[in-house]
Amino acid sequence: MADGQLVWSAHWECEFNWKVLLENFMEAYHHMGAHMKTLEPFLPARGCWTESYDPEFSAMHLPLKDTMKQEILASGDPGTPLPIFPGLEIKDCTEWWVFLGFPNFLLFSAPDRVYWYRLLPTGPETCSLMTTMILPKSATQIPNYEDILKKEIQSGIDFHMEDMEVCTATQRGLNSVAYAQGRLSHLEEPIWHFQKYLAEVIKRSQSYS
Ligand SMILES: [Fe+2]
């Protein structure tokens, strides 16, 4: 990513708590619902898995669907619309991943692009978000770069709009008198990591007071 270049950003004022977006960002369970037509067809929720808990971060692997994975490994061609980041091997091109550096450093990355979400709380039920896209510098040199970029920005906006809808509905749900906590799926393990981190922070702040 040291080679990366920020090529696009968009600013969003959101009507939900920052942790609602963060938790949505970090789990893959909702791919099969909210992103049924955008992400689920190539990043199926079922195959996702999470690295063990670390006090500093949480990372989830989002493997491509099996047929795509096999094709990439057999052909040695990453099959990405844009050039991949330098230093990646073909085996690294068979998955995307999401990364959270506690508390609010968010990356959604593919071999050929990284979405960096800059998330700031602005109130108990509002937050400010800047979505950005980072590409390898070599991407700007390829033929039809402008057309491909336009298409990839649009697909980033498309799945983001699906998340905005879900997050707004989640905030509404949190305010409902019918709200009750439920169990997490194993596909939501990063949420458990984040809550563990928050519990540690609260514990630390209580021992200081
Ligand atoms: Fe999402």
18 within some domain: yes
Amino acid 102: pLDDT: 97
Span from the CA of 30 to the centroid of ligand 1 (angstroms): 6
Span from the CA of 165 to the centroid of ligand 1 (angstroms): 10
Span from the CA of 209 to the centroid of ligand 1 (angstroms): 38
17 within some domain: yes
Q: What is the pLDDT along the chain (209 residues), one digit of tens a residue?
A: 888 999 999 999 999 999 999 999 999 999 999 999 999 999 999 999 999 999 999 999 999 999 999 999 999 999 999 999 999 999 999 999 999 999 999 999 999 999 999 999 999 999 999 999 999 999 999 999 999 999 999 999 999 999 999 999 999 999 999 999 889 999 999 999 999 999 999 999 998 76
Amino acid 91: pLDDT: 96
DSSP 8-state secondary structure symbol assigned to residue 17: -
111 within some domain: yes
Span from the CA of 35 to the centroid of ligand 1 (angstroms): 7
d(CA 174, CA 39): 26
Span from the CA of 205 to the centroid of ligand 1 (angstroms): 31
Span from the CA of 167 to the centroid of ligand 1 (angstroms): 9
Span from the CA of 123 to the centroid of ligand 1 (angstroms): 22
Q: How many domains does the chain have?
A: 1
Span from the CA of 25 to the centroid of ligand 1 (angstroms): 5
Amino acid 97: pLDDT: 95
60 within some domain: yes
CB 23 within 8 A of CB 194: yes
Tokens of 69: 């994975």
Tokens of 57: 């971060």
132 within some domain: yes
What region, left, alpha or beta, does residue 137 occupy, with left being phi > 0 and alpha being psi -120 to 50 degrees?
Answer: alpha
Residue 186's alpha-carbon distances to 45, 104, 111, 153, 193, in angstroms, are 11, 22, 25, 30, 12
DSSP 105-144: EEEEEETTEEEEEEEEEEETTEEEEEEEEEEEGGGGGSTT
14 within some domain: yes
Span from the CA of 38 to the centroid of ligand 1 (angstroms): 10
CATH code, domain carrying 26: 3.90.380.10
177 within some domain: no
124 within some domain: yes
Residue 116: give the domain boundaries.
Answer: 4-172+182-208
Span from the CA of 107 to the centroid of ligand 1 (angstroms): 12
